[in-house]
Each structure stands twice: as C-alpha cells, then as structure tokens.
C-alpha cells in the first residue's frame, strides 16, 4: 500500500480526507496569562497586533471580530497572526517528517535499514538514507510591551500595543476606557512616591515625580494624536493626507498652546472650557529639563525658575498637582473625543 504523508491520529488528530488531503488540528499556544495573539488583516493597520483572553467577552458563536485599532471587521479566524501561521506550518512539517522519510524509502526501494545495493562484482553502488532530525518548533514570539483593557460593554479582556479605539469582540468604542486605564497606571506610580521616598531617598522620589509628569504629557500627546488621526479619517482624508497632516502636527501635542493652534487649524476646534487648558499649560511647563538633558540644566529653565521665584510662584510640580492634571487630561481628551469625533464609527 502507498504510504501517506501523515499517519492518522496522533497529537495533531490527523484525519486522512483522501486525494492527499489531510486535516490537522493545531492548537495555538496561549501566553502565560492565558491570552491568544491576534493580528489585523488590514495591511494599512498599525500596530495591528493585539491579544484576547478566551472565555471573556462574547462567548459562544461569534460571526465577526473587530480590530481594536482600525475597526476592520472580519471572521475571528481571519485575525490569525503571521507567527501563528508559521507555528502551524512548522508543526505540520514536523508531523510530515516521518511520512516523507517513509515515502522516499518506498520510492527508492530501500530496505528497512534505508539501504539498497545496486549491481555487484567490480562496480556496485550503495544508497543509504539518513533521516534528518525534525526541526524544533519555536513558540510564537510575544511582545512584553502590553496594555490590558477590559471592555465595559462585553467584558472582553484584551491586550493592545498602542491606544485601543475599539473592542475586538463587540466593536464598541472603548477609547476613553483605555485612556482612563492609562491614567490609573500613572496614578498608582504617583501614590507610591511617599513609600519610595522613605525607602530610596529624596533623589529617587523627585525623579519619580518628574517621570509621572512626563508620562502624563506623553499620554496627553498620544491620546490627542489618536483622536486627531481618527477624526481626519472620519472626515474623509485618504491615508496619505492623514499622514501628511500628522507629520505637520509633529510633537505639537507636547505643548498646550501649539495643541490648541493645531486643533483649531485642522478642525476649527476651540475649547469651551479655557481655564482647564490654561491649567494644563502651566503643569506642562513644569517639566524638568534635567530629566531629558542628561543632567545638564538648560539656561532657559533656570531663567524661568528664577523669574517664577521672584514672582512667588512654585516651579516644581507637586503630587497634588499631578493628581489634578490627570483629571484635567481625562476631561480635555473626553471633550475632544466627543467634539471632533462624535459618536460615529
């Protein structure tokens, strides 16, 4: 009987469907938290990669899933990652390995030791098949830079690698849920500063405070950029125009005045609550240039600090100020989200 490529059964539950067609069941490994990686099939999507926790969110029959970044809608199977496809292929090749060796032996008429002797007398040729060892299978590569968000609508516990806009199961807008999860992380660091000052000293706690301020500004920048990108797409800019506009925005969202200029220019947006933007501005200005200048205090900062001292203003940021800055950031981003995006998908 002709030997097949795969033996039926085994760990991959191989089924022979006839005509050299086989069905193999390959289970994609979960990460150590029980999450499974997914990848958006839309080639223009970035970062496209995310994870979901099976058993949370929509359980039972699910016809379509969504990309958290671009809301591409497709069958759940279409979100298989390149790494998972590679893994599945490697597993199949490994399983086929034994079958291929048997087929080669059969085709060449080798004996059970994989040998055959041709001719005899003066000239003889001996063939010898040495089966190679199957390649070890690598597990899918998983990035450690992750953010976990639980959807308030369907409870899906998902991991994203950028700011998520949509829930991957129900497709609802979860952008503000994600922003508040990021704020909660900064708040946890902030609330730990007192303990770290006791354990590690004032130099460390002062740096912690500066880092919390930096992180707050970065969050504001990332969230404003994400809202801007979405609003540009929504008003019908093609992807090239979106990129051109975002390039012009550059790092403007690190500065409150420049943020307002850009939002006005792009969307005609003028904040109704000016006091909150002014507060953001004065906190943003307290970023300590030492942190990002390898310890060299820049002259401008010193001048500004001396000026503030003469006027009796505090130049250094306090924990309470960052606490209210985080509240202000959430409010400003929420307003921006409802004003320039609205409730459109």
Chain positions contacting Zn ion, by CB under 5 A: 40, 42, 45, 67, 69-70, 72, 151, 153-154, 156, 167, 169-170
Indicate the residue among 45 and 110 with the shorter CB distance to Zn ion.
45
Indicate the residue among 177 and 334 with the shorter CB distance to Zn ion.
177
CB of 146 to Zn ion, least distance (A): 17
Identify the CA nearest to 224 among candidates 244, 251, 187: 251
CB of 54 to Zn ion, least distance (A): 14
Identify the CA nearest to 39 among candidates 6, 86, 1, 5: 86
Both tokens of 303, joined, read 């001048």
CB of 43 to Zn ion, least distance (A): 9
- The rounded Cα 191 to chain-centroid distance in angstroms is 26
What secondary structure letter does DSSP report for 166?
B
Indicate the residue among 73 and 323 with the shorter CB distance to Zn ion.
73
Helices (H) and strands (E) in the chain, counts: 9, 10
Indicate the residue among 167 and 329 with the shorter CB distance to Zn ion.
167
Phi (first) and psi of residue 251, to 5 degrees: -100, 25
Exposure class string for 54-65: b at 16+ Cβ within 10 A, else e? eebbbeeeeeeb
CB of 91 to Zn ion, least distance (A): 27
Indicate the residue among 24 and 246 with the shorter CB distance to Zn ion.
246
**25 vs 23: CA distance, rounded Å:** 7
Identify the CA nearest to 213 among candidates 262, 272, 254, 252: 254
Indicate the residue among 70 and 308 with the shorter CB distance to Zn ion.
70
Residues 6+ apart with CB under 8 A from 156: 52, 53, 56, 57, 58, 150, 167, 168, 169, 170
**32 vs 34: CA distance, rounded Å:** 6
CB of 228 to Zn ion, least distance (A): 18
Indicate the residue among 45 and 246 with the shorter CB distance to Zn ion.
45
CB of 188 to Zn ion, least distance (A): 24
CB of 72 to Zn ion, least distance (A): 4
Identify the CA nearest to 194 among candidates 290, 315, 320: 320
């Amino acid at each position: 009987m002709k030997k097949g490529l795969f033996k039926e059964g085994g760990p991959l539950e191989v089924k022979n469907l006839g005509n050299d067609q086989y069905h193999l069941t390959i289970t994609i490994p979960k990460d150590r938290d029980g999450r499974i990686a997914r990848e958006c099939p839309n080639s223009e999507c970035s970062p496209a990669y995310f994870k979901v926790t099976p058993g949370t969110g929509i359980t039972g029959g699910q016809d379509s899933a969504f990309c958290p970044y671009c809301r591409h809608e497709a069958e759940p199977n279409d979100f298989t990652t390149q790494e998972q496809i590679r893994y599945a292929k490697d597993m199949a090749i490994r399983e086929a390995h034994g079958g291929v060796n048997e087929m080669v032996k059969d085709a060449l008429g080798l004996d059970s030791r994989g040998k055959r002797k041709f001719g005899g007398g003066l000239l003889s040729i001996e063939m010898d098949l040495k089966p190679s060892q199957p390649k070890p299978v690598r597990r899918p590569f998983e990035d450690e830079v992750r953010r976990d968000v639980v959807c308030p609508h369907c409870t899906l516990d998902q991991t994203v690698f950028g700011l998520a806009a949509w829930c991957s199961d129900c497709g609802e807008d979860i952008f503000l849920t994600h922003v508040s999860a990021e704020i909660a992380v900064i708040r946890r660091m902030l609330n730990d500063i007192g303990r770290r000052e006791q354990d590690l000293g004032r130099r460390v706690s002062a740096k912690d405070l500066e880092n919390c301020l930096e992180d707050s500004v970065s969050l504001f920048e990332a969230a404003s950029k994400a809202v801007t990108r979405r609003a540009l797409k929504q008003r019908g800019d093609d992807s090239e125009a979106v990129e051109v506009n975002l390039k012009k925005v550059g790092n403007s969202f690190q500065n409150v005045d420049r943020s307002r200029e850009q939002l006005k220019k792009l969307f005609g947006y003028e904040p109704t609550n000016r006091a909150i933007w002014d507060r953001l501005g004065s906190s943003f200005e307290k970023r300590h240039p030492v942190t990002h200048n390898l310890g060299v205090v820049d002259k401008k900062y010193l001048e500004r600090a001396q000026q503030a001292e003469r006027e009796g203003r505090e130049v250094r940021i306090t924990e309470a100020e960052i606490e209210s800055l985080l509240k202000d950031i959430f409010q400003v981003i929420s307003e921006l989200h409802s004003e320039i995006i609205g409730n459109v998908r």
